[in-house]
Amino acid sequence: MRGCQGRGPVPHLRVMNGKSRAIFGLLLAGALAGTAFTGATAGSSEHDQQYAAWRETYYGANVIEYCGLVSDEVKDGFHRKVRFLRAWSALPAAIEWRIRVWAAVRADYQYLDHSLGGHRIWCETDGLSAVRSFLAFRQRDLARETGVVE
């Protein structure tokens, strides 16, 4: 490093004094506490429930496809649930598409994560749970359409 000359110590810039640092610290702590409080109550909001329902629906559909559990009744239950979710949540198409991509990636990861033969247990748990969910939704929706109350 020939030719480099030392320039001496870097001067410290004093941006905040002790009082302004304390005020900044209190503001930061208040903002973080507010964020934590908002996050704690956000899990129970209808908006979060809608997103969870969308994620569960599309993830379940992907699992069913991986596991070969698709039937006409299951497909009908899935389509009915998607129609219901679209009416309930009014989710923008772009967000729905992102959830579909997320669900496909998650299902793909889960399939690969269960190694050779391990996917059978995954299909028996997540797959059959999704099948039951779509069939139950279909049954309730058909009963609602015909006016039969369970």
Write the pLDDT tens digit of every residue in 80-135: 999 999 999 988 999 999 999 999 999 999 988 877 777 889 999 999 999 999 99
pTM of the model: 0.67
Residue 71 is given by DSSP the state -
- Helix then strand count (H, E) for the chain reads 6, 0
Residues 6+ apart with CB under 8 A from 121: 114
Tens of pLDDT along 29-70? Answer: 455 544 433 444 445 588 889 999 999 999 999 999 999 999
Residues 6+ apart with CB under 8 A from 142: none
